[in-house]
Amino acid sequence: MALKTEELVLNMGPQHPSTHGVLRLEVQLEGELVTKVTPHLGYLHRCFEKHAEAMTYPQVIPYTDRMDYLASMYNNFGYVIGVEKMLGIQVPERVEYIRIIMGELQRIASHMVALGTYGLDIGAFTPFLYLFRDREKILTLFEITCGARLLYNYMWVGGLSHDLHPDFERLTREFISYFRPNIDELNNLLTYNKIFVERTANIGVLPKETAINYGITGPNLRASGLKYDLRRNDPYSIYDRFDFEIPVGEGLVGTVGDCWDRFYVRVLEMEQSLKIVEQALNQLPEGDINEALPKRVKPPKGSIYQRVENPKGELGYFIISDGTVNPFRVKVRAPSFVNLAILNELSKGHLVADIIAILGSLDIVLGEIDR
Amino acid sequence: MYESLVEITGLEIFAAFVSAAMPVAFLVPFVIIAVYLERKVSAHMQDRLGPMRVGYHGLLQTIADFFKLIQKEDIVAEGIDKKFFNFAPFLVFAGSYAVYAALPFSSKYIGSETDLGIFYIIAISGLVVAGILMAGWTSNNKYSLYGAMRSAAQIISYEIPTALVILSIIMWTGTMSLATMSEMQTAYFWNWNILGGPEWGITKFVLIPFLLVAFIILYVSTLAEVNRTPFDMPEAESELVAGYHTEYSGMKFAMFFLAEYGNMFAVSAIVSVIFFGGYQSPFGYLGNTLGIEWLVPFEQVFWFAAKGIFFVFVQMWLRWTLPRVRVDQLMTICWKYLIPYSFVNLLVIGIITLL
């Protein structure tokens, strides 16, 4: 008599320690081998896009904060330069530089969370707290600038909410010289750890072609070996003035595009961001930040698609204006949403423990996926 | 202890009860301190302070937590096999507590002076597996089931290298009793087994590298047997939530907790007895020098606890430094590396002993 066997369906989340928010994964298992992963979304849906239609243009900015709440500055950034382009505003030099500094500090902070929680997923507790300790310093910088630590509403259409604090420049330079050696510490503690490498190398390999076909962007795409970064390939703001490199995955310990590469690309990007912040601080001009603030934000009829390189990938705002003070439509292309789509492809044939490793390496934020 | 109590009181039941209850007097304070220590060690390794509010530097935190756990509602979810679900934590604790019967705390106190001490420990700690499997299976939860299955596979696999290493030491020392084994490594630290044992001669120095390998194998496999990081598969919290004790709450959860910390000390004590002289002081006794003889057993308890707690500290150290291995890598480490090496080690130590 043949025994009746069936696949085990394991329900991961929405209450699970490592789904990085309220994500539910329906995992089909053959023993410990994964045959299919279906992500179920929507637990954090707050109707951002619909809300935006009832708001005036500046009122939408606080909502963008709440999408990728680990990179609020950058969400502001993308939205305001989109609206500025519609209005045809040229912001002062100083504003441009401050935006770059904030954006890159935010990128570092976002990558810190990504790397730290990834260590946590693999079981290493300590690097997580080291990185959070350092992230705290960035949040302090934001706090003295605009008073908020998570949701800043800092970048406004045509300017900024506050000018820099007198101490900001000194504190930022201190942070840069403090944080550089800590990256090496992180590498020694976690990145090159034998167990960590065993867990992540050759796991969830994402070939370049598949990544392009799925529309993967950001560090996940670069880890697959494609040098594609909007700061270079479609420069916005004043990114063309800075000297920085775009790290790509090289498969140092495994195959190009594995989990370890995705992790390491983020480590390298933090160094590059430090470099950009340093250059921007050196070139920071004086000036009035409120010069270009419009009295009334009322773009002419038309539409625009503005994309920026958010820490998670390509963040795009498609804004349609019908000539009133409210946007007719604000559609967001959220990088995490697109990047999550690859999960099933990557997880097939791996073990349960690897789903966690793969999901963590994609660095998703549910606030952005569900919006 | 048991025999002398029988002589004094003439009551066998009383003697048995007292000598069985003695380790509790050690275990409960130990667990309270160890939990506090774990939180403080992890905190200081991670650049934070840890518990600071309850008592001086949070000293009473664990006691407060203990009272909190007692007050918690005892949740029993639907579809659970209640009988076994309630029984499992106690079985796990029994398995871990029974080990203490054969641990020589000092030359004067050992719960049960059996000649088969170490084999008894290997056998009785198997109860823990049964308890964990029971907990995982009856919880009617997929995470628990996975945790329990992993745990059973892991503990059973790692018992093999443990047993092989212990076998090689038994072969060499010629005793299975932990008390005798400690007795042999007397006086100074160069008489410890890790440094070739008490007998001087060429074999002592030839043996040292092999004993070192044996120690490492034993330590790694005991780490796996008590489910500590990097081998904490069964309760891998980022994958399996809390593994086999996901569904437990309140006092029953506390029992698992107690068993885990009890186990941690038990394996550390075994390692210290086998390789580091057990209760023997590394540099003579104060009691002997001063001529106060009753002081010696207390000093021995101190050294026994100190060595055990040192190895517990190393376990914590590893836990807060290393990531977790994957379940198949865990098995690879055991079957492809530890077992062959321990076989070779067994052979070599055997040959050296014969010569």
CA distance A73 to A103: 6
CA distance A75 to A82: 11
| Mean pLDDT of the region B107-112 | 69
pLDDT at A25 over 80: yes
Residue in A78, A83, A82 with CA at minimum distance from that of residue A106 = A78
| Mean pLDDT of the region A138-155 | 89
With an 8 Å Cβ cutoff, are A123 and B323 in contact?
A: yes
pLDDT value for B211: 84
pLDDT value for B238: 63
Please give, one letter per residue, the 3-state secondary structure of A230-279. Answer: HHHHCCCCCHHHCCCCCCCCCCCCCCCCCHHHHHHHHHHHHHHHHHHHHH
pLDDT band, very low/low/confident/very high, at A14 (cuts 50, 70, 90)? confident
B123-143: pLDDT as tens digits:
888 788 888 888 888 888 888
pLDDT value for B187: 67
CA distance A117 to B226: 26
CA distance B148 to B145: 5
A34-57: pLDDT as tens digits:
888 888 888 888 888 888 888 888
B321 vs A contacts (CB less than 8 Å) = 124, 126, 189
Which residue has better confidence, B196 or A214?
A214
| Mean pLDDT of the region A316-340 | 89
CA distance A279 to A317: 28
With an 8 Å Cβ cutoff, are B323 and A32 in contact?
A: no
pLDDT value for B236: 63
CA distance B41 to B39: 6
CB A287 within 8 A of CB A58: no
CA distance A359 to B10: 66
CB B121 within 8 A of CB B284: no
Q: Chain A residues contacting B, CB < 8 Å?
A: 8, 10-11, 16-18, 32, 119-126, 129-130, 133, 189-190, 193, 195-196, 198-199, 351-354, 356
pLDDT value for B237: 63
pLDDT at B100 over 80: yes
Residue type at A365 in one-letter notation = V
With an 8 Å Cβ cutoff, are B325 and A199 in contact?
A: yes
Question: Measured between CB atoms, which of B42, B238, B322 is closest to A17?
Answer: B238
- Mutation target for B interface from A129, A134, A182, A193: give the one with most B CBs within 10 A: A129
Integer-rounded Cα radius of gyration of chain B: 21
**Region label for B25, one of left (φ > 0), alpha (ψ between -120 and 50) or beta (otherwise):** alpha
**CA distance, residue A17 to nearest chain B CA (Å):** 6
Q: pTM value?
A: 0.83
Pick the CATH number of A47-346 from 1.10.645.10, 3.40.50.1820, 3.30.365.10, 3.20.20.80: 1.10.645.10
| Mean pLDDT of the region A87-95 | 87
pLDDT value for A90: 86
The fraction of chain B above a pLDDT of 70, given in percent, is: 93
A237-285: pLDDT as tens digits:
888 888 888 888 887 888 888 888 888 999 999 999 998 998 998 988 8
CB A203 within 8 A of CB A348: no
CA distance A155 to A157: 7
pLDDT at A229 over 80: yes
**CA distance, residue B43 to nearest chain A CA (Å):** 9
| Mean pLDDT, chain A, whole residue set | 87
Integer-rounded Cα radius of gyration of chain A: 21
CB A39 within 8 A of CB A78: no
B238 vs A contacts (CB less than 8 Å) = 17-18, 120-123, 356
pLDDT band, very low/low/confident/very high, at B1 (cuts 50, 70, 90)? low
3-state secondary structure of A35: strand
Of A116-125, A299-308, B194-203, least confident by mean pLDDT is B194-203
Residue in B246, B231, B238 with CA at minimum distance from that of residue B142 = B246
Residue type at A250 in one-letter notation = E
Question: Measured between CB atoms, which of B238, B326, B327 is closest to A120?
Answer: B238
DSSP for residue B42 = H
Domain ranges of chain A: 47-346
Q: And the tokens for A148?
A: 């908020």
pLDDT value for B235: 66
A18 vs B contacts (CB less than 8 Å) = 238-239
pLDDT value for B179: 78
CA distance B184 to B179: 9
pLDDT value for B202: 75
With an 8 Å Cβ cutoff, are B46 and A125 in contact?
A: yes
With an 8 Å Cβ cutoff, are B324 and A199 in contact?
A: yes
With an 8 Å Cβ cutoff, are B237 and A121 in contact?
A: no
A353 vs B contacts (CB less than 8 Å) = 236, 239, 326-327
With an 8 Å Cβ cutoff, are B229 and A196 in contact?
A: no
**CA distance, residue A117 to nearest chain B CA (Å):** 10
CB A332 within 8 A of CB A317: yes
The chain A residue lying nearest B330, using CA atoms, is A195
A119 vs B contacts (CB less than 8 Å) = 323
Report the b/e string of A254-282 with b at 16+ CB within 10 A: bbbbbbbbbbbbbbbbbbbbbbbbbbbbe
pLDDT value for A1: 61
pLDDT value for A200: 87
pLDDT value for B176: 80
